[in-house]
Amino acid sequence: MSELREIHHFIGGRWTPSKAGETVEAVSPATGKVLASIAEGEREDARLAIAAARKGHEALAALSRWDRARMCARIADEIDKRRDRLAKTLAEEQGKPLHTEAYGEIDAAASGFREAGELIKWMEGEFIPVETPGKRVISYRQPRGVYAVVTPWNFPINIPVEYLAPCLAAGNGTVWVPAPSTAICAAELMACIVEADLPPGAINLVFGPGPVVGDEIVGNAGTDGIGFTGSPQTGAAIANRGAGKPMLLELGGNGPVMVLDDADLDRAADAAAFGCFFNAGQVCAASGRILATRKTHEALADRLRGIAEGHVVGDPLATGTTMGPLNNAAVAAKIDEHIADGLKSGARLVTGGKRLPDLGSPLFYAPTVIDNVAPDAALNTAETFGPVAPIVVCESEEDMIRVANAGSHGLAASVFTKDLAKAFLFSEAIQAGLVNVNSPTCYWELHIPFGGASGKNSGLGRIGGKHTLREVTEIKTITFDIN
């Protein structure tokens, strides 16, 4: 029997076990197999990482932007070299299909480092005209200091890159706490970063429970900024603990897909299904609910059923698999609750609606379509985060705007119509940070601004390309008297 792999923190340029010596097991969601032993960090581990990140920040800030850009490029090259290993780890530990989804996430991570390195080189300042004679004023961007970064399990390779790459490019030291259920993915990404010859402490990795190590890094006075992707509930707790620090929070979504009566139903169904079933629905910008009128909802449900039943659910490493297991038991339990609530409220189960334990794990879930969901059902008002396509029947096209905006989320949305005027009208009326016309709610590219609408619980700030770099830097203004 082979010895279980041990994974440690990475602090101050070294792989190191937890101070307390505690470990936890990483388990495959598809098989239940124990994959590795993970260091279980405590507050002292997080504090050591913060101190190391301060030194790392000082070393990074002393380098030119071109030097830091070359570091980002080296990390991207290493990700490319380890592409197969990273993708397999992602499929095994997170559960997404290797061939249809995992490789794409790895490629996006490499692009994220390359783009951050290129963009920082061209982030310009200003020469500001002023009224006072003999005065010259300039402003430019500089790093904030040490960033606390806490990331989720649904995209455990690429979402961390959305923060780590801009922080590195900008010159911030970073302490990164990943989700415990995808710790191996984090370690594999960190191994790529290690090969890029960064200053010790530039990026530090600490494993452990969010309420312990995550709480320490966001609340500790030694960190100067916060980056977090996760639930609105955790985001609110982080905002409270880190009050006064600049924050970039990408929180939950429950993206409405608004299918107007003139829409191409085949195109709308394909896009909605992709938004509902991609990564088994475990996406912040997933298509959380589909809004249609009585004229089209049954035809839409029929098309969605065909797509759902065409999915191959199974082993994420198998060639033909198009949907793997859910990542954890809490997500599966929430899906059970939301479906039961929807049916109790009078919805019609079109297909799915159950777990598939015969596939080897209780975390496999059938792609599900539910029609005629009540507006007050959890499937419409809350983020389900699973492979469910709930159709909410609205009394009119105008009523869709009311239903779409009634919830507490405001991250991403879609509008399907052939009418350009309606496309603009509905896009501007929806309270969401991103609205995609005639494409899935989860369409996004790395440089596009992405974040929640004001007044909703979907976050603060914008990730994406130059927008993230603006968030993780601050403006320094200098005035000169030339008299």
Under a CB-based contact definition with an 8 Å cutoff, are residues 323 and 277 in contact? Answer: yes
Give phi and psi for 422, each to the nearest 5. Answer: -65, -35
- Report how far residue 160's alpha carbon sits from residue 119's, in angstroms, rounded to the nearest whole number: 18
- Which residues are CB-neighbours of 83 under 8 A, at least 6 positions away? 103, 106, 107, 110
Residues 462/450, Cβ–Cβ less than 8 Å: yes
The per-residue pLDDT for 1 is 43
Q: What are phi and psi of 198, to 5 degrees?
A: -80, 155
Q: What is the DSSP secondary-structure string of 235-259?
A: HHHHHHHTTTS-EEEE----EEEEE
DSSP character string of 127-153 = EE--SSTTEEEEEEEEE-SEEEEE--S
What does DSSP say about strands 6-7 and 34-39: parallel, antiparallel, or unpaired?
Answer: parallel
Domain boundaries, the chain: 6-251+461-477, 255-447
Long-range contacts formed by 330-335: CB under 8 A, 24+ apart: 331/282, 331/385, 331/386, 332/362, 332/363, 332/365, 332/386, 334/384, 334/385, 334/386, 335/365, 335/384, 335/385, 335/386, 335/388
pTM: 0.97
Superfamily of domain 6-251+461-477: Aldehyde Dehydrogenase; Chain A, domain 1 (3.40.605.10)
Active site residues: 250, 284
CB neighbours (10 Å) of residue 127?
8
Q: Which helix (H) or strand (E) holds 458?
A: none
Cα separation, 6 vs 181, in Å, equals 15
Length of the chain equals 483
Question: For residue 462, with 0-12 CB atoms within 10 Å meaning exposed, 13-18 middle and 19 or more buried, which class applies?
Answer: buried
In what side-by-side order are the strands of the sheet with 126-128?
126-128, 135-143, 473-481
Cβ atoms 48, 59 nearer than 8 A: no
Architecture per CATH, 255-447:
3-Layer(aba) Sandwich (3.40)
| Per-block mean pLDDT, blocks of 10 residues, the chain (483 long) | 84 97 97 97 98 98 98 98 98 98 98 98 97 97 98 98 98 98 98 98 98 98 98 97 98 97 98 98 98 98 98 98 98 98 97 98 98 97 98 96 96 98 98 98 97 97 98 98 94
